[in-house]
Amino acid sequence: MSARHGPVVETRMPFMRIASLFGPEASRFLLLDRSRVLSAKLAWEFIMGRIFGGGLLLRDGDDHRHHRSIMQVAFKQAALDEYVGRMEPRIAETVHGWAKTRTEIDAFPAFKHLTLDLASEVFLGLELGPGLDALNRAFEATVAASMSIVRIPVLGREFSAGLAGRRYMTEFFGKLIPERRAGDGADMFSRLCHAESEDGGRFSDREIVDHLNFLMMAAHDTTTSTLTSMSYLLAKHPRWQARVREECAALGDRALSYADLESMEVTHRVMQETLRLYPPLSTIPRMALEDFEFEGYRIRKGTLVSAYPIHTHYLDDWWTEPFAFDPDRFAPERAEHKRHTHLWVPFGGGAHMCLGMLFAELQIKTIMHRLVLETSWEVAPGYEMPVQQAPISKPLDGLPLRLTSPRT
């Protein structure tokens, strides 16, 4: 559409207009929104508001800034140090189990199960066990329902199950809040219960529940997507898998610290290239609050306006051989992603830049460190991963991997 029609394409649907904006300038315009003509809240409420209402992405302006300022305490370095320490034993146990008992694995469901376990422990501070099964089922139902095509709560259908899951999670979290407010836990749930902005603002019980519901979804699904795509690319490019393994082996077979993870330059570049080729969210939507112009085109109030990382990340005017897997494009001496401020935008930008970005990076690196030390993996000859782009980038077949002993 961009090649045929230019930087703006409007599509008229029976119930709304959709404007697609293409290129890094479009991403900058949409994400910075300097004229305050766009709403993240209205766009995402239309998509998932009945399931994840009240989350940080579903807030605008002063309301968004207020909630973000309170929530930042849960993502400061001291908190991240604590999260890494809590994650590592569970990651080591799980990956060791894969290496010892399996020769094949479907990567997406395996990573999904692991990251959900980590979310339960790190975010909620809950010990794994049969008691969490119902919570996990409720969470999975809400995620599935957030992108349901049919949004009528018919008993037995996906959307109805999602609404029931949200009710269960809301009640489950609500009962724990008094205990967490009275305690001094270091998990994210406890930190949100005690979080306070510089001007003394704190979350209500309902706001804590809303933020937990959204954070569980956002961190769990995007990290699962990135780990799966990263594993696929390292299977297709064994030389890079060996480079990551060499870097991780130099750190040793031990629990990593926050400082260790910051030093993993090769792994970091592989992760950046993965996010370029397979951004978890292919589309960033906003709703037009009033008429505005972009690149000479007039866009009317009420239009759903979208920018596309999946398009910008492949532009051959900006990237060298954009369809090639080349993590060194992110090395300091090349730094292709810095050719424009909004050329590489897997974490969004502006006021809504992903607050959990560093947490996601730490979790991905911690899991990858353990994975390359415990095993090597490959895909079948000639295999190409079939990808579903929405609601989140994922393999249609789960990504079957063959596991072997680590290759030196």
Digit-by-digit pLDDT tens for the chain (408 residues) are 999 999 999 998 888 899 999 999 999 999 999 999 999 999 998 888 888 889 999 999 999 999 999 999 899 988 998 998 889 999 999 999 999 999 999 999 999 989 988 988 888 888 767 667 788 788 878 877 766 655 555 555 788 888 888 999 999 999 999 999 999 999 999 999 999 888 888 999 999 999 998 888 777 889 999 999 999 999 999 999 999 999 999 999 988 888 888 899 999 999 999 999 999 999 999 999 999 999 999 999 999 999 999 999 999 999 999 999 999 999 999 999 999 999 999 999 999 999 999 999 999 999 999 999 999 999 999 999 999 988 789 999 999 999 999 976
Q: Which among 303, 285, 292, 242 has a CA at the least distance from the CA of 267?
A: 242
Q: Where are the domains of the chain?
A: 54-237+353-404
CA dihedral 211, 212, 218, 219 (to 10 degrees): 130
**H or E segment to which residue 400 belongs:** strand 400-404
Decide if 95 contacts 367 (C-beta within 8 A).
yes
Sheet architecture: strand order including 376-378: 104-106, 400-404, 376-378
Residues 380-395: tens digit of each pLDDT: 999 999 999 887 899 9
Strand ranges of the sheet holding 38-39, from the earlier edge strand across to the other edge: 8-12, 17-21, 304-307, 284-288, 38-39
Q: What does the angle CA 259 – CA 264 – CA 267 come to, to the nearest 5 degrees?
A: 145
Q: At residue 121, what is the residue type? A: E
The CA-based dihedral angle spanning residues 85, 87, 91, 92, taken in that order and rounded to the nearest 10 degrees: 20
Count of beta carbons in the 10 Å neighbourhood of residue 6: 13
Q: Which CATH number fits domain 54-237+353-404: 3.40.50.10300, 1.10.630.10, 1.10.260.40, 3.40.50.2300?
A: 1.10.630.10
- CA pair distance 133, 285, nearest whole angstrom: 33
At residue 287, φ and ψ (nearest 5 deg) are: -110, 135
Q: Model-level pTM? A: 0.94
As a whole number of angstroms, the distance between CA 74 and CA 185 comes to 12
